[in-house]
């Protein structure tokens, strides 16, 4: 991760925990910064539940990969596609 991005992360420990749990870089940054700004209770109260990528179809996953700018996903099986999206 580039150093300038880490400077914008307000709670690096939470960010790393969220990444380890499989969240995308964008989602982990958004959650960790929201918790740092408003507190865990406020964020938990507001937040929803995102569906698991395991429940998505391969075409849905390919569309998401394209939205994220992921490269080299077209020939991957579902599990590989999910892993690539989570690493993005």
The predicted pLDDT at position 62 comes to 92
The predicted pLDDT at position 78 comes to 93
Q: 70 with 85: CB under 8 angstroms?
A: yes
- Tokens representing 83 are 């892993």
In order of 28, 37, 42, 80, the CA distances from 1 in angstroms are: 13, 22, 28, 21
The predicted pLDDT at position 3 comes to 47
The predicted pLDDT at position 50 comes to 58
The predicted pLDDT at position 58 comes to 94
Q: 30 with 18: CB under 8 angstroms?
A: no
What does the alpha-carbon distance between residue 34 and residue 62 come to, in Å, rounded to a whole number? Answer: 28
The predicted pLDDT at position 6 comes to 54
Enumerate the domain spans of the chain: 1-50, 51-88
Instruction: Note if the pTM is more than 0.75.
Output: no
Q: 80 with 19: CB under 8 angstroms?
A: no
The predicted pLDDT at position 51 comes to 65
Provide block-wise average pLDDT over 10 residues at a time, the chain (88 residues).
62 88 85 84 60 86 89 92 87
The predicted pLDDT at position 20 comes to 85
């Amino acid at each position: 991760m580039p150093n300038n991005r880490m400077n914008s992360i307000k709670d690096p420990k939470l960010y790393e925990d969220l990444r380890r749990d499989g969240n995308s870089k964008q989602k982990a940054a958004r959650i960790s910064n929201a918790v740092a700004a408003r507190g865990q209770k406020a964020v938990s109260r507001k937040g929803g539940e995102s569906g698991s990528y395991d429940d998505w179809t391969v075409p849905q996953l390919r569309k998401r990969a394209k939205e994220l700018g992921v490269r080299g996903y077209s020939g991957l099986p579902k599990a590989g596609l999910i892993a690539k999206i989570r690493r993005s």
